[in-house]
Amino acid sequence: MDAARVGVITFPGSLDDRDAARAVRLAGAEPVALWHADHDLQGVDAVVLPGGFSYGDYLRAGAIARFAPLMTELVAAAEAGLPVLGICNGFQVLCETHLLPGALLPNAGLHFVCRDQRLRVENADTAWTSEYREGQELVIPVKNRDGRYTADRETLIELADSGRIVARYLDLNPNGSLDDIAGICNEAGNVVGLMPHPEHAAESLTGPSTDGLGFFTSIVKRLVNA
Amino acid sequence: MSEQRPNASGRTDGPQDTSDEPSLEWLGELKSDADDPELQPVDPSVTQAFEAMLEEEEPAVPPASPPVSGQVPPATGQAPPANGGPVSPELSSEFARALAEEGAIGPSSPTADPTRTTPDLNGSGPFQQPDGSGPVQRSSGPFGMGAQPPLGSGTGPQPAVGTGPQPSVGSGTGPQPAVNSGTAPQPVVGFGTGPQPAVDFGTGPQPPVGSNTGPQPALGSGPHPAATAEGQGTGPQSTIDAEHPLGGPVTGPLPTATPTGPQPTVPPTESQPTATPTGPQPTVTPTGPQPIVTPQGPSTGPLPPLGLRNLPESGPQPAIGGQGSGPIPVVDGPGTGPQPVVGGPGTGPLPGVEGTGPQPALSRGRRIGMGTGPQPSIGHGTDTVAIAAASPERSQPYVELGMNDEEYQRVREILGRRPTSAELAIYSVMWSEHCSYKSSKVHLRQFGEKAPKTDALLVGMGENAGVVDIGQGWAVTFKVESHNHPSYVEPYQGAATGVGGIVRDIMSMGARPIAVMDSLRFGPADAPDTQRVLPGVVAGVGGYGNSLGLPNIGGETVFDECYAQNPLVNALCVGVMKHDEIKRAVAPGPGNRVILFGARTGPDGIGGASVLASATFDDESEQKRPSVQVGDPFMEKLLIECCLELFREDLVVGIQDLGAAGVSCATTELAAAGTGGMHVELDAVPLRDETLRPEEILMSESQERMMAVVEPGKVDRFMEICGRWEIPATVIGSVTDTGRLVMTWRGETIVDIPPGTAADEGPVYQRPYEPPLDLGALQADTPGRLTRPSNGDELRRTVLWLAGSPNLASKTWVTSQYDRYVLGNTVLAMPDNAGVVRIDDESGLGIALSLDGNGRYARLDPYSGAQLALSEAYRNVAATGARPLAVTNCLNFGSPEDPGVMWQFARAVEGLADACQYLGVPVTGGNVSFYNQTGTTPINPTPVIGVLGVHDDVRRRVTMSLTSDGAAIALLGETREEFGGSEWAHVVYGHLGGLPPLVDLPAEVALAGVMVNAIREGLVTAVHDLSDGGLSQTLVEACLRGGLGARITLPGDPFVSLFSESVARAMVAVRPGAEARLAALCEAAGVPVTQIGVAGGDALSVSGRGAEGEPQELFSIPLAELREAHERMLPTYAD
């Protein structure tokens, strides 16, 4: 059968789009470049919203990307079950579109932070984490300026109680994220937002590990089995 | 004594001073000018003036060598001969400073156990230097020196009690001088306290003991045996000291070079110290480009007593006060305008202009200034070519724009009339030091003249950046550039736009930028202003680079008092392309369209290049704030993607970025390099501020703009792609074959010049130079007088102290603010030896880059200093397994008008050119930053050198991390006793003196060969070069990075082995079983190799010769303690 087709949306200001595409390829799927200004998801089987500073993020991270033409199609498709992974800026965009609850504020230290971060997978049942096991520890780069996850108390409790916290930071919380949250998912588990960059932990030559590849192999396996 | 001059001029031999000759023929040789007949650098009148001046000066110029001794009298004083001067006070205060820096106030100051753990009396590791330390020196010392040289405790810098950071022995605390428990490496330790008498010697209470011995010859001196090959000049310091206990050393260092003293060339100007004699740099206008019409001008007119400088007026305005005098040049509002515009200070009535009187100016809305009077307007208030031709006598504010009389006259000669204000704007920025390299050209040409033969260079110097062939059809372009002054004024934007500028340079070669690096220098880490500048600069470099999606793969962060008000921000960008994608900054083909695309033009940094980059900072720097450009990295990111699409479809025939001097620079350079002509409609330039005047548009440094030359048939597609990226693009003109650059503004011609005269034929100066007056004294003040740690405990504390000192401490605080992962090709990044980036996923082809500099070395000997920076970068690149291939440089110096600085510059360039020639790595481009000084105090000369290397397959790269338990650790290269300019002397004593380590290029080549081959053959699992801080720092970094300890046995004098900064050395961890093969490789290359230990454990444990020469464990430091010391420093100060 044909390889799964995973779209990667490029907004003006997207930076890690090529890297996400490379990780998709390494995981065995076919990356499909999607352009923010189109109204066409090209029939992809899943979508990655990559890292970067969409539209410069001068206003608020992800605030403008949310209004990109393609987002209309994406939101509808995600609500209908299309697997979507938002990485870093992509996570911010997903929050701005309300596909995920909460928001991402500037890092507690007010600096951009780039480091090899230890994480623990808290939910291995989402569309993007099934190749991991719950409690598994990973080392994946985190690099962001606005990565401090925030939500109101009820939301945090609900996220924790319903198992929607996908990953938490270990050792050191790099950005002041509440409850050490590194990633969350929606109720259905098809939409995942993640602050660390799994696409940069896909090759041992260029990453601190290959621990991030699992996010991509998870979706590939799911699509192939589907 | 003249024979001692070799010191300064160093180890060089040769023809160093060709440059003495004021011959003007050289000018014609400059590469970019080579084919240009017009570029007879100086016109005859200038030459005559120059000759006349020379004649005049001859007598005044001190004869070459004679003055030597005379000139440096202070030295004598400083280099106390044997029983010489009152060293102690000085030392103790120095020491106190060191303590203060350490923040230690510990009272306790244990005395040294009679120290002398060092059996190596001679101080100079005998093993390395057989007779290294000449006995000669001994004699000069007051002591028999039987024991060790730096007399133990009693000696100098000892921490008088109370002060010492040194921990009371017992409490031996960590590295950092926690208060009471100081850590200083003082040898003292022990009992006695205070300025104790040199115990052993029982020589009275005089603390100075050791030090008293003058320049302590014992140490570093001794004609380094192995050292230098003949030519390299005589031995280092010692020789001198030894021979001339009195004052000898003083004179010594005077370089033969530049004997002739100040021989100003070109600026045929007055040879006498007049106001703005030679210096084209208008010290004047510190405030910015505003053409403040000051009364001081040559003007005469009835100048109204305006509150100069505050004139908020714009446009050629009627003389206020209605004096009816000529048009006041005032022009423009505060902060903005560099435009000179019309008339000079109070000139007379303009002929040609009707009704002379108060000249006109369009009162342009918002800028109403004080100019109230009637404002008749001539045309649009625009100074047209016609007006200029008709009003030859109108005076113009060229001085305020940074031009001197001769330069201005030259423009008039070129044009055959006075320039219009727009033309003056163009010439003033294009002929500024920043754009024309007028003071440095005569020296920089050596990079071309001495360029090694190589096939690797596809595009040489002179273009935006050189292009190097790295094989497999790939080409790489890279360049480093400074943005020092703006970064002091506004750290964030200054640094950010520095990154933006260099990235556009790389794009304009047709390359995709793939990584950036930054070399940063600040004042002392704990200085309040550093805490303002450092975070801003780092955030700016990161903010811009991160937003562009370019990984930052390395660089340096250095602290030194001399950069307190002159931070250095040097940014490097590297880009990659296929051979056939190389683009040039040319505008060929009449009829082709000139398109300006990118951000709109606003009043940003107007005059920034010429003024900000050329004025010395003083109290008025505040007034420059508006001149710093503001960056928009998002726009630049779009520009990158847009350009790559344009390149892919082959839509441009020439392209140029807009940096300093904006449209002026882009149009003149493109036109000059093309068919020679261009017609531009300046009104077409899209503006962010509609009130900008043409002169402002010409000089605006708005960021994120590019200019392309496009064939008419491809314009539509070009626009379509720009539209897709939502980038404004406008056709502003076309290429012609007239040989003239013509610009119109609202229908009138305001510029009509031969573009080459602005772009390539700027003035060229051969500025006078001579060694700084204090150089002799500085070189004579060798670190030999500094007391050294002498037992295991002191060594331990010294290791920790250095590891936690600002320059050697972990820079994670900085690098964690940079994205090193984006683009997914970063194989190595800070803090590894060099940055390594994969170019080709399939083959593994990649590059390595290192950026290094050492201002202290260069201060002591700029010729060597430049070579040492090159050597280090070369070594770093090879330490990853890459073949060094090409060089870029950023030369940061003080004012070229200071002969001492100019000498440093000339020597550094010569040193770099000579070394590049020897190493076979051509200089592909670079940047010069002058005027880095506060008042009359220049920074340490700081050549920052970038070396590019190639990896055939990056998968074979090796890191500096010790990770293989049980692997043998070997030291490659030879360790000599070299502490001049060392981190040890700097950190512990705040001392800078003596001579830097000897340069040994043959040894660098041999070492690089061994490293590259050993890595290729898989013989080593880790490689780390030795540089600042010596073996100690190398071990600290390798252990911490890999998380594995090491058990080391030092081969010679423990102190020298650990802290000497001899060149051409590296540490390697050998793959088990490969020892013999490595040894064979080393032997074949003539590289000494010594096994010094084994990797393993969770501590750095060091053994060596004890006091009696017997082997013993000297100290052991748990990695956790080491890490704490190494990583704590920067966050403490910076956050």
Give the residue among B412, B305, B386, B323 at the shortest CA–CA distance from B359: B323
Q: pLDDT, tens digit, for every residue of B54-89?
A: 333 333 333 333 333 333 333 333 333 333 333 333
- B673 with B587: CB under 8 angstroms? yes
- B541 with B552: CB under 8 angstroms? yes
Residue B64 lies in a domain: yes
pLDDT grade, residue B1044 (50/70/90)? very high
* Stretch among B112-121, B556-565, B818-827 having the lowest mean pLDDT: B112-121
Q: What is the DSSP letter of B878?
A: H
Q: Mean pLDDT over residues B271-286, rounded?
A: 34
Which phi and psi angles does A142 have, rounded to 5°? -115, 140
Q: What is the identity of the amino acid at A10?
A: T
CA distances from B172 to B426, B797, B989, B1128 (A): 65, 8, 20, 18
Q: Please check the confidence at residue B102 and state whether its pLDDT lies above 80.
A: no
C-alpha to C-alpha distance for A20 and A216, rounded to whole angstroms: 9
What residues in B contact A56, CB-CB < 8 Å? 547, 632-635
**Which alpha helices (DSSP H) does B475-527 contain, by range?**
484-489, 491-507
C-alpha to C-alpha distance for B646 and B510, rounded to whole angstroms: 10
* Pairs across A and B, CB distance < 8 A: 85
Give the residue among B909, B892, B904 at the shortest CA–CA distance from B566: B892
Question: What would the two tokens of residue B766 be?
Answer: 């051969």
What residues in A contact B542, CB-CB < 8 Å? 111-112
B939 CB-near residues (< 8 Å, 6+ apart): B562, B563, B566, B568, B855, B892, B893, B894, B932, B933
Residue B154 lies in a domain: no
Residue B191 lies in a domain: no
- DSSP H or E segment with residue B923: strand B923-929
Q: For residue B12, what pLDDT is reported?
A: 36
Q: Please check the confidence at residue B662 and state whether its pLDDT lies above 70.
A: yes
The chain-wide mean pLDDT, for chain A, equals 95
DSSP for A44-73 reads -SEEEE--B-GGGGSSSTTTTGGGSHHHHH
Nearest to A53 among B547, B816, B826 (CB): B547
Strands B942-951 and B883-892: antiparallel
Nearest to B634 among A13, A51, A205 (CB): A13
C-alpha to C-alpha distance for A150 and A60, rounded to whole angstroms: 14
What residues in B contact A51, CB-CB < 8 Å? 822
Q: pLDDT, tens digit, for every residue of B353-381?
A: 333 333 333 333 333 333 333 333 333 46
Alpha carbon B776 to its chain's center: 23
CA distances from B366 to B312, B338, B359, B682, B1081 (A): 10, 18, 19, 21, 75
Give chain B's length: 1135
pLDDT grade, residue B607 (50/70/90)? low
More confident site: A59 or B278: A59
- B603 with B336: CB under 8 angstroms? yes
Q: Please check the confidence at residue B43 and state whether its pLDDT lies above 70.
A: no
3-state secondary structure of B777: helix
Residue A161: count of CB within 10 angstroms of its CB: 9
Q: Across the interface, do A197 and B637 touch by the CB < 8 Å criterion?
A: no
- B772 with B904: CB under 8 angstroms? yes
Q: Give the rounded percent of residues in chain B with a pLDDT score beyond 90.
A: 53
Q: Which of B632, B814, B821 to mutate to test the interface with A (most CBs of A within 10 A)?
A: B821
Q: For residue A226, what pLDDT is reported?
A: 67
3-state secondary structure of B246: coil
CA distances from B430 to B224, B734, B753, B1021 (A): 48, 21, 13, 51
Q: Please check the confidence at residue B1032 and state whether its pLDDT lies above 90.
A: yes
| Phi-psi group of B730: left, alpha or beta (phi > 0 → left; psi -120 to 50 → alpha; rest → beta) | beta
pLDDT grade, residue B816 (50/70/90)? very high
C-alpha to C-alpha distance for B1119 and B867, rounded to whole angstroms: 34
Most confidently modeled range among B126-135, B181-190, B816-825: B816-825
Q: For residue A224, what pLDDT is reported?
A: 82
Nearest to A15 among B725, B817, B822 (CB): B822
Residues of B marked active site are found at 434, 483
pLDDT grade, residue B309 (50/70/90)? very low
Q: For residue B463, what pLDDT is reported?
A: 67
Q: For residue B461, what pLDDT is reported?
A: 64
Q: Across the interface, do B821 and A206 touch by the CB < 8 Å criterion?
A: yes
- DSSP H or E segment with residue B989: helix B983-989
Q: Mean pLDDT over residues A141-165, rounded?
A: 96
Q: Could you check whether the bond before residue B831 is cis, i.e. omega within 30 degrees of 0?
A: yes
Q: Across the interface, do B821 and A114 touch by the CB < 8 Å criterion?
A: yes
CA distances from B820 to A172, B452, B514, B800, B824 (A): 20, 33, 11, 28, 9
Q: Please check the confidence at residue B265 and state whether its pLDDT lies above 60.
A: no
Residue B765 lies in a domain: no
pLDDT grade, residue B258 (50/70/90)? very low
**Which residue do the tokens 């020597």 mark?**
B907
Q: For residue B305, what pLDDT is reported?
A: 33
Strands B1111-1118 and B1099-1105: antiparallel
Q: Mean pLDDT over residues A159-186, rounded?
A: 97
* Stretch among A83-87, B1052-1056, B1105-1109 having the lowest mean pLDDT: B1105-1109
Q: Across the interface, do B824 and A112 touch by the CB < 8 Å criterion?
A: no
Q: Which of B516, B538, B547 to mutate to test the interface with A (most CBs of A within 10 A)?
A: B547
Q: For residue B1029, what pLDDT is reported?
A: 96
Question: What would the two tokens of residue B999 be?
Answer: 């340069």
pLDDT grade, residue B320 (50/70/90)? very low
Give the residue among B11, B271, B14, B262 at the shortest CA–CA distance from B770: B262
More confident site: B573 or B26: B573
Give the residue among B455, B410, B456 at the shortest CA–CA distance from B431: B410
Q: pLDDT, tens digit, for every residue of B972-1003?
A: 999 999 999 999 999 999 999 999 999 999 99
Q: For residue B462, what pLDDT is reported?
A: 64
Question: What would the two tokens of residue A179 be?
Answer: 């409850």
Q: For residue B572, what pLDDT is reported?
A: 97
- B1020 with B958: CB under 8 angstroms? yes
C-alpha to C-alpha distance for B56 and B128, rounded to whole angstroms: 54
Q: For residue B1015, what pLDDT is reported?
A: 97
A211 touches chain B (CB under 8 A): no
Q: What is the DSSP letter of B101?
A: H
What residues in A contact B633, CB-CB < 8 Å? 53, 56
- B841 with B544: CB under 8 angstroms? no
Q: Domain ranges in chain A?
A: 5-225
Give the residue among B754, B749, B567, B558 at the shortest CA–CA distance from B668: B754
Question: What would the two tokens of residue A48 be?
Answer: 């990655």
Q: Across the interface, do B816 and A114 touch by the CB < 8 Å criterion?
A: yes
Q: Across the interface, do A207 and B815 touch by the CB < 8 Å criterion?
A: no
Residue B375 lies in a domain: no
B829 touches chain A (CB under 8 A): no
Q: For residue B1133, what pLDDT is reported?
A: 76
Q: pLDDT, tens digit, for every residue of B501-511?
A: 999 999 999 89
B612 CB-near residues (< 8 Å, 6+ apart): B485, B486, B489, B605, B624, B627, B628
Residues of A marked active site are found at 88, 197, 199
Q: For residue B245, what pLDDT is reported?
A: 29
C-alpha to C-alpha distance for B1115 and B1101, rounded to whole angstroms: 6
- B709 with B660: CB under 8 angstroms? no
Look up the domain containing B32 and give its range: 2-72+257-269
Q: Mean pLDDT over residues B169-182, rounded?
A: 33
Q: Across the interface, do A13 and B816 touch by the CB < 8 Å criterion?
A: no
| Class of A5-225 in CATH | alpha beta
Which phi and psi angles does B158 have, rounded to 5°? -55, 145
pLDDT grade, residue B696 (50/70/90)? confident
Question: How far does A27 lie from chain B, in Å, by closest CA?
Answer: 15
Beta bridge partners of B972: B1066, B1089
* Stretch among B241-245, B823-827, B1113-1117 having the lowest mean pLDDT: B241-245
Domains in chain B, number: 1
Q: Please check the confidence at residue B425 and state whether its pLDDT lies above 60.
A: yes
Q: Across the interface, do A56 and B822 touch by the CB < 8 Å criterion?
A: no
C-alpha to C-alpha distance for B33 and B762, rounded to whole angstroms: 10
Q: Please check the confidence at residue B445 and state whether its pLDDT lies above 70.
A: yes
Q: What is the identity of the amino acid at A84?
A: V
B542 touches chain A (CB under 8 A): yes
Q: For residue B1106, what pLDDT is reported?
A: 77
Q: Across the interface, do A205 and B827 touch by the CB < 8 Å criterion?
A: yes
CA distances from B507 to B635, B641, B850, B1132 (A): 14, 10, 21, 38
A205 touches chain B (CB under 8 A): yes
Residue B163 lies in a domain: no
Q: pLDDT, tens digit, for every residue of A173-204?
A: 999 999 999 999 999 999 999 999 999 999 99
Q: Please check the confidence at residue B1098 and state whether its pLDDT lies above 60.
A: yes
C-alpha to C-alpha distance for A66 and A11, rounded to whole angstroms: 10
C-alpha to C-alpha distance for B387 and B389, rounded to whole angstroms: 5
Q: Please check the confidence at residue B349 and state whether its pLDDT lies above 90.
A: no
C-alpha to C-alpha distance for B730 and B637, rounded to whole angstroms: 19
A131-149 as b/e: b if 16+ CB within 10 A:
bbeeebebbbbbbbbbbbb
**Which alpha helices (DSSP H) does B459-613 contain, by range?**
484-489, 491-507, 528-548
The chain-wide mean pLDDT, for chain B, equals 72
C-alpha to C-alpha distance for B525 and B535, rounded to whole angstroms: 11
Determine the angle formed by the axes of helices B528-548 and B491-507, rounding to 10 degrees. 30
Q: For residue B1013, what pLDDT is reported?
A: 97
